[in-house]
Structure 1
């Protein structure tokens, strides 16, 4: 039997979402033209991806709203709390850069309000492209805001490699531009914000690993919130076995240990089933040592190709002469960004960035249901 099809992300902005946005517009103001919005929003919707739908719906709002930009913003602000999903709010937030680039102060204030309902991380990018210095001045103020969504926008909106977002070359060339925002948020009380800061720093590490390690070496990890950000910010470099990143985490590049066991069970699975990885490490060191344990799964691709992805397992202090047992479970299922193919999948155990053992499991081919 084939695996059930997962709902597509773009379906979050389908006809039902458009009806919800239209209802919010009518409830917010008698000046909102429901019929004009619905007609424009549904036209050509089926062929669009999720981010194309965000922009398309934002454009469909224009004939439904007052021509005067301040009046339109007031209606959008009143609509946002009535929406039922963050993607709906993102669609109305996108209206701001499409019509408000010449009214910067008013537009940025609107984004700070609207981001509480659906992140304005994409909507802020055109303002950064237009004036990176001036926009960052406002975003630095946001990093001190009482609302976690606004603080997160300061970090997420200025990411050098924001997924699905337009690239701002200045951030990739000069990490110091947004560094004051990251420094302000390095011990933020919100996990939501800290994840964004870590992802922002991880982005920097892909272009400027030397800068990232040097900058984080000046952060104190005494606060567990900051220590968490540092670990997650360095995750891509650690997966690559970067010596400087490992040293910053307190892990020497060559761990003194023996792998007494690395097994995967069951030996063969069908899509949708899970594998369990068991690891047994024995220290051969005379002192305690920090070890970073990951595993790299080599996915089977069409035409005999392979594609590797590294997964985190555990970072911990291995006591001198002691043995540690680690176990993790992973379900082998399809995602919109990853499709699985039958065949033997090799898994490498990485300790402090080096391959210390290998194992494998087979993914069985899905059976094809008989024709009706």
Structure 2
């Protein structure tokens, strides 16, 4: 659900929380709670707005609502429950769950129930993490119950909220060290009918794989990968391990054997380019095996950094079966340009052809800015 990492976010993302939106929220709160202090809410949200990042704006919203709404925590939740269903922007709607989590620490049972409700209108994936951190036994048991919920948003929260390394969320250090407490949640959702939920389960596995690759491989090896829903999760959950050439992960994907190939060509053109120029990669492969081979073809670009060193990034190219003696030509076009998540620097960029985790050929290009 989150946009790209906050440190590199485009300006437009933080402007989701803008003066017009805050005035709309104020009007809506006033319509369901006549005692709501509209002036105080707008003062707390609009003063200093320009200096706040997206997440700071998101988290300031419940602070302002709490100050401007009368009554107890439970009474304020009742007001927000009436308002949440009117939210038409899933990310903006996260603030309802943030309210429930921030101000419900003295009433965790009510707070968890509120987060279950509000996650249907945004997400409680950030708000629930301090509760997991402070009382893992109770909160994870609650999340496990939610894996059986009829609502896909609630089931997704069970997985997404307990990811060890959720982007922008509180890092759950104890789960980074030992991921086993969330295993029952993943087991319960490993064939979920909702793609929304399956994406979360796969990302949860990918999180764990960064610290415990062998644990993840052993876990999914026991799953029924003949089930297409489960197979989809496994493939996506192992994606980083496959890119990194992890032998057991490649084996599970049917590409554990060393490729028997002749690489006739592997070229990058043009060899000298400037930002905005398309780069054309071409490879010609010929099987030297007597058997059909399952191949996972990737390419690795070693991007030049500001200090002159390089940083590799693996890109997916193609997955295929190659018959004995068959020749295959591959082409890939990629425009070299700056993004919010990557700035390019001048220098020689090495490119490697990786097949089934092995580097079989190299080429490159020189970038001039």
Q: What is the TM-score with the length of structure 1 in the denominator? A: 0.91
CA distance in 2, matches of 1:333, 1:19: 38
Change (3 A) 1:336 1:232: same
Written as runs of structure 1 = structure 2, the 5 A alignment for 1:144-159 is 144-159=148-163
Deviation at 1:53, TM superposition (A): 2.0
2:133 is the alignment partner of 1:129: yes
Q: Is the 8 A contact 2:101 2:115 kept in 1?
A: no
Alignment partner, residue 264 of structure 2: 260
Alignment partner, residue 342 of structure 2: 338
CA distance in 2, matches of 1:99, 1:200: 27
2:260 is the alignment partner of 1:246: no
Deviations 1:291-341 (A, max 9, x none): 111111111211312121111222222222222333333333333222222
Change (3 A) 1:15 1:342: farther
2:310 is the alignment partner of 1:306: yes
Change (3 A) 1:299 1:16: farther
Alignment partner, residue 223 of structure 1: 227
CA distance in 1, matches of 2:128, 2:75: 20
2:86 is the alignment partner of 1:82: yes
Q: Secondary structure at the match of 1:87?
A: coil
Deviations 1:8-48 (A, max 9, x none): 43222232332232233233332332221111112222222
Written as runs of structure 1 = structure 2, the 5 A alignment for 1:91-106 is 91-106=95-110
Q: Secondary structure at the match of 1:92?
A: helix
Alignment partner, residue 368 of structure 1: none
Q: Number of paired residues? A: 361
Deviation at 1:126, TM superposition (A): 1.1
Deviation at 1:243, TM superposition (A): 1.1
Q: Secondary structure at the match of 2:15?
A: helix
2:16 is the alignment partner of 1:7: no
Q: What is the TM-score with the length of structure 2 in the denominator? A: 0.91
2:23 is the alignment partner of 1:19: yes
CA distance in 1, matches of 2:312, 2:180: 32
Unaligned segments of structure 2, at least 5 residues: 1-8
Written as runs of structure 1 = structure 2, the 5 A alignment for 1:16-55 is 16-55=20-59
Alignment partner, residue 288 of structure 1: 292
Alignment partner, residue 187 of structure 1: 191
Q: Secondary structure at the match of 1:203?
A: helix
CA distance in 2, matches of 1:63, 1:339: 41
Deviation at 1:269, TM superposition (A): 4.2
Q: Secondary structure at the match of 2:93?
A: helix
2:48 is the alignment partner of 1:63: no
From 354, 360, 363, the equivalent of 2:364 is 360
CA distance in 2, matches of 1:347, 1:211: 31
Once the two structures are overlaid, the 10-residue window that deviates more, 275-284 or 143-152, is 275-284
Q: Secondary structure at the match of 2:91?
A: helix
